[in-house]
Amino acid sequence: MVIQEMDSLGGSEPTEPAESAAPVPVRLVLEDGSEWQGRLATGGLPGGGRELRVVGEVVFNTSMTGYQELVSDPSYAGQIVVLTYPQVGNYGVREGEDESDRPLASALITRELYDARAVGRDAFGPRLAAAGVPVAEGFDTRALTRHLRRRGTLRGVLTADRTTPAGELATLASTWRSPSALEVGTRSAYRVEPARSGGGPAGAGANGMAGMVRALGGRRQEPARHAVVVDLGVKRNIVRALAAAGCRVTVVPATTPAADIRALAPDVVILSNGPGDPRDLAVLLGEVRRVAESLPTFGICLGHQLLGLAFGARAYKLPYGHRGANHPVKDLITGRVAITSQNHGYALDGESVEQAGLVVSHVNLNDGTVEGLVHPHLPVWGLQFHPEAAPGPRDAADLLAGFLAATGGAVASQARGEPGGGAGTRAVRAVSVAAGVSGVREEGMPRA
């Protein structure tokens, strides 16, 4: 395996603000035939935006901040994102805070786009326009969000075309298919070195994961432990968090065989977030299970779903998904509630998780859906939400830190096939089973 050396996870190169264009009326036509009116908020697009036609899944996000991280999150690949907070762009954009090398959302819809150049900051809209991502404003985002909640997530077409019948555009919308995580992640392996003393890797900016470092007692582990990240569309802050915790990180393509991952001798394996339906990734499940049965493994978002599927659980599509930074999640082990950042449209079926021999460790307090799992005998944990959330909240930062601490020590003796799984396995088993996740639930706790 050829691995490219990298010493930074900085942001994209600065871009010159594009000149504002005269407002262009646009409409969003959903696959149910409903129409929503607005205007193009950014210039710099081909044809002045008058040729605009974007097809994608229309989803809403309830976050009040974090728009720069949101549109560059690979999990939003191919989606038209509606922001419920009425004004976007208030604080501009900053270098080093993107979650990938470019915006990956197909389009952004908001009530009002603010031009932060008025207060001396780089503006959000021109940055997106330079990347070819349209921003539309003037929409009644409250009514649109309520419609999506009632009808469920719908596909749609955002267009400046005022003449094509809505029915024809609705049919076009219904043909959209989500990009695969196999297309979004890296095509070649690369490395990121541990954080320099006192902070995150070069270019980590404000998202250097101070909370993660605090959760580990502010200490770097010496010598550096080795974390392999299986890239299904990984957010940069997952890699930053691992580097900030003192890990040497190797990021590998999603299709990397388990044998090749074991050959890298990692201490832990992280299955990343990513876009799309986990049920479309059946080709990966055998390798995921082989990895999880031989190495300490932690799944985040899509990675969590793949862990469940690999052990025999079932996944299903949520009516309108969980996307925002205010989702309450209860830890069934400790009883603690954390406010979490989430971005997913699918979930694991709780009953099937238990039938697969896994244990539900966390549930969403809004709808009771599965938010976490553990294996009762292996160092295998999964979280549906983002413990490394950028820009936050960081209530759950200690969960990833706790996994790294609990699996600390040598490269898992599991990888050598030794019985009992070594110190890492015993530590995780002590944390999970002794804490009460072996099937015993506290009175009054909701079932997933």
Nearest to 144 by CA among 18, 320, 276: 320
- The catalytically annotated residue of 301, 322, 362, 375 is 301
d(CA 448, CA 83): 28
Helix (H) or strand (E) holding 144: helix 141-151
- 337-348 and 359-364 as β-strands: parallel, antiparallel, unpaired? unpaired
Active-site residue, from 147, 327, 375, 386: 386
Please report, for residues 56, 68, 255, 304, 332, the alpha-carbon distance to residue 285 in angstroms, rounded to integers and kept in the order given.
Answer: 27, 32, 10, 12, 27
Count the helices and strands in the chain (H runs, E runs).
13, 20
Q: Judge whether 304 counts as a catalytic residue.
A: no
Contact 120, 21 (CB under 8 A): no
Q: Distance between CA 439 and CA 423 in Å, rounded?
A: 23
Type of residue at 417: G
Provide the 10 A C-beta neighbour count for residue 293: 16
Question: Burial, 264: exposed, middle or buried (Cβ in 10 Å; 0-12, 13-18, 19+)?
Answer: middle
Residue 409 carries which side chain, given as an amino acid letter? G
| 301 catalytic per annotation | yes
How many angstroms separate the CA atoms of 246 and 225, rounded? 7
Q: How far apart are CA 413 and CA 423, in angstroms?
A: 8
The one-letter amino acid at 383: L
Q: Is 139 left (phi over 0), alpha (psi -120 to 50) or beta?
A: beta
Count, residues in the chain: 448
User: Any idea which residues carry the catalytic annotation?
Assistant: 301, 386, 388
